[in-house]
A and B are shown apart, each in its own frame.
Chain A
């Protein structure tokens, strides 16, 4: 069994009378990508900042790569990499200078190859304020991984990135994972969390309301399957047409969309209906609930089922 690289136990963080995080616990193993999800104000950033040693926890215990971030930060700083939500670099620094500067403080050789890989080759001499938001975030990411950290904290890493860079970033995350780096990924992008994370925790009002693999989390919801159907003559759009196990029906963009608790009888009945009416099936899609569906379900109801 791989070692836990991140251990959070009964962690609590309060700012005055406001409790941002209220007694959460989780672990992340070596080489695991762990997603932290939640709406704004759920406590994700507070959790990350305490794990990164930027803030002291109000209660509970935190261990990162076996060290206490609050009291052993000096030893921890070379073992972790952090991409902050705001890029946080001086506006006149160039990517080349930033790479030399931060690598020097980590006592490693500058990794200019990362700048090229992340599409910053032509901007190496540009000042930070001249870079686009996406380029600033890519630079921030390159700096976070340049010293080969054992644990990497990514706060909204793909916000503002184009598709190609996003794919490159995901590839880089997989490589780091293969090399044994533990990644804590805080994101609003559910598709990214579902694709990249081995496990996720959903935070709501400072508490973890659901934790597990994306598959486990989606499986614990209401379990409705989405069936989208489009036909030639719109025979499904006639009022009064109903199918077994369907709890909700909507019509959108020429598609009849059914949410079914039992797809077998529903799909059979739909196909039989189309055949009976002499209509022609153009498209039929059956989709399991996504992490986003489950996330919305949890955040709307406020509880995990």
Chain B
């Protein structure tokens, strides 16, 4: 337990001390939130209704997808994991602790957004706080798992950026952050349901913000939780201590199984 606390404490402080992580955890989400609040809310007043869930989902996407995988890949390539192994740091700690500390940073960001948005931009507050917190946790869990999995299977920083952007960019365009899900063409809507951001926005709308969900909001919560658990499980299974080791338990393409809950969800909950 003592070791876990020291590890957690170091990782949490690194999230503020490390310039790249500070940017992804705080500066980028909060800067984007302020910019969108001041500009987008003026251009499209309806955006005020979505500003809290949309900017929280954006913060989660930035801090996890853009913040977690690259440090994991760099640590593996620079021999940090080897050093950890020799000193008895378990692989589960290597994967779970950065995710937990990122979620803690996200809680701070989410609180800042939720408290300031009604004051600064006249944004409506959540009507069901418990569901709001639950959906936040589910989304953060799903994206943190996905990000850890990307960090585990990516062979290099370059590939990490590619995989992360493959989820981040469509999430921004189709995830319901900028454009309501109901305005998407049917095919794009089906594709959008493969994205955690779409599920989170749908759940926020239906369960926390007093709006109407486009499809089953509890189904969205279940999908997020199941995909998060699956992503962490796959990450632990596919983890390797260093890239030069030829012994690996499974092919990196197994990571695509993480999409399975969303695919099943399209049939079950749409």
Contacts and interface: CB of A to CB of B under 8 A. Distances in A.
Given A15-B246, A84-B82, A106 B87 contact: yes
Nearest to B241: A54
Nearest to B4: A104
A86 B86 contact: no
A88 interface: yes
B214 interface: no
Contacts of A240: none
Interface string B56-83: 0000000000000001000100111011
A105 B14 contact: no
Size band of the interface chain A makes with B: 20 to 34
Given A88-B80, A90-B80, A104-B2, A82 B86 contact: yes
Contact of B86 (A15, A52, A56): A52
Most chain B beta-carbon contacts within 10 A, residue among A91, A106, A127 = A91
Contacts of A55: 245
Interface residues of B, number: 28
B80 A105 contact: no
A197 B197 CA distance: 61
B17 interface: yes
A93 interface: yes
Contact of A90 (B14, B87, B88): B14
Main secondary structure of the interface of A (DSSP, over half): loop
Interface in B10-61: 10, 13-14, 17-18
Given A56-B247, A102-B87, A92 B17 contact: yes
A93 B10 contact: yes
A102 B139 CA distance: 32
Interface string A89-110: 1111100010011101111000
A73 to B, nearest CB: 8
A143 interface: yes
Contacts of A53: 85-86
Interface in A241-297: none
Interface of B: 2-3, 5-7, 9-10, 13-14, 17-18, 71, 75, 78-80, 82-83, 85-89, 241-242, 245-247
20 contacts: A52-B86, A53-B86, A54-B241, A54-B242, A84-B82, A84-B83, A84-B86, A86-B78, A86-B79, A87-B79, A89-B80, A93-B14, A97-B6, A97-B9, A101-B7, A104-B3, A104-B5, A105-B87, A105-B88, A106-B87
Given A77-B88, A92-B18, A143-B87, 16 more contacts: A53-B86, A54-B242, A56-B247, A77-B87, A80-B86, A84-B82, A86-B78, A87-B79, A93-B10, A97-B13, A101-B3, A101-B6, A104-B2, A104-B3, A104-B5, A107-B2
Interface of A: 15-16, 52-56, 74, 77-78, 80, 82, 84, 86-93, 97, 100-102, 104-107, 127, 143
